[in-house]
Amino acid sequence: MLEVKNLAVNYRGVTAVEDVSFRSLPGQIVGVIGPNGAGKSTMVKAILGLVPSTSGVVKFRDRALKQQLNSVAYVPQRSQIDWDYPITVWNVVLMARTVHTGWFREPSRSSQEIVKDALVRVGMLELRSRQIGELSGGQQQRVFLARALAQQAELLFFDEPFVGVDKKTEAIIFEVFEELKSQGKILLVITHDLGTALTKCDQLLLLNKQIIADGSMKEVMTADNIQRAYGDSIFIFNREVV
């Protein structure tokens, strides 16, 4: 189980995340939604210790998460990745294996097999020698998904994986998510897509600095909760989905 208690983050004295607490069970896809600037990315970074938190405890399997970061995969929001970094598709995915083999050892044959399988799984093996900066947005997302797969993590974080991807890539991402879920992993997925993606989630967290609602889609997506998180701007949300 992933357990987050009273997590808070300030950027230069301004509160970005406040008193966030929730629990997630193995084999669950956890959707995180909320308006721009709600603190979704910040919350994930604070869970991973990538930004300092002013308070909070994060436990995974009853132990501090920061002592188990090799069980964690994280795919950042696209805008936060340096795409000019000169590295091939194959090496991006192979990097996931360094947690297992160390930086300076030759990757083992089994690591290379795992990398290959992950690239096949997302349909990117043919482009393995391409520079990562020379891929389309959807192809880049698939490579990062392959990296998360190759890492064989137990806890996976995806920050807006559906942005700018076509239906085919979206379908591949969903399939892989379902597979990981059936292996008992926990997936935390930030999304702006209030449609299909939400129906795949076992648990939803609606965030606007604080947790506005936490539960099933039906429990969370009430007109009242949506209004509290997004204000009046989201009148398009139709009550049939609620």
Ligand X SMILES: Nc1ncnc2c1ncn2[C@@H]1O[C@H](COP(=O)(O)OP(=O)(O)OP(=O)(O)O)[C@@H](O)[C@H]1O
Nearer to ligand X, 118 or 211 (CB): 211
Tell me which of 38, 92, 156, 189 binds ligand X, using CB under 6 A. Answer: 38
Select from 29-37, 101-109, 148-156, 197-205 the region that touches ligand X (CB under 6 A).
29-37
Q: How many helices (H) and strands (E) does the chain have?
A: 9, 10
11 binds ligand X (CB under 6 A): yes
40 and 188 in contact (C-beta within 8 Å)? Answer: no
Question: What phi and psi, each to the nearest 5 degrees, are found at residue 14?
Answer: -100, 130
Q: How far is the CB of 242 from ligand X (least distance, A)?
A: 22
Q: How far is the CB of 201 from ligand X (least distance, A)?
A: 17
16 binds ligand X (CB under 6 A): yes
Phi-psi region of 231 (alpha: psi -120 to 50; beta: other; left: phi over 0): left
C-alpha span between 135 and 53 (Å, rounded): 35
39 binds ligand X (CB under 6 A): yes
Size, binding site for ligand X by CB under 6 A: 11
Tell me which of 1, 25, 37, 231 binds ligand X, using CB under 6 A. Answer: 37
Select from 10-18, 34-42, 138-146, 208-216 the region that touches Mg ion (CB under 5 A).
34-42
182 and 63 in contact (C-beta within 8 Å)? Answer: no
| Residues making contact with ligand X (CB under 6 A) | 11, 16, 34, 36-42, 77
